[in-house]
Amino acid sequence: MVRLATPIIRGIARCIAPLVRRVQVEGLSMVPTYGPGEYVWVRRIWWPPKIGSVVATRDPEEPSREIVKRVIARRSGHVSLLGDNSEVSRDSRTYGDVPMSAVRWLVVPQRRP
> Cβ contacts of residue 36 below 8 Å, gap of 6+?
25, 26, 27, 28
* 13 is a domain residue: no
* 3 is a domain residue: no
* 14 is a domain residue: no
- The band of 58, judged by pLDDT with boundaries at 50, 70 and 90, is very high
CA angle 27, 111, 82 (to 5 degrees): 35
Residue 28: how many other CB atoms lie within 10 Å = 16
Mean pLDDT, all residues of the chain: 87
* 66 is a domain residue: yes
Residues 61-70 have pLDDT tens digits of: 999 999 999 9
Span 86-97, average pLDDT:
94
Residue 80 is part of which domain span?
20-107
The CATH number of whichever domain residue 82 belongs to comes to: 2.10.109.10
* 67 is a domain residue: yes
* 8 is a domain residue: no
Helix, strand, coil share of the chain (percent; to 5): 20, 30, 50
* 68 is a domain residue: yes
CA 6 to chain centre: 30
What's the structural domain count of the chain? 1
How many angstroms separate the Cα of 32 from the Cα of each of 36, 38, 49, 50, 53? Answer: 10, 11, 21, 21, 15
* 85 is a domain residue: yes
| Cis check: omega of the bond before 109, within 30 degrees of 0 | no
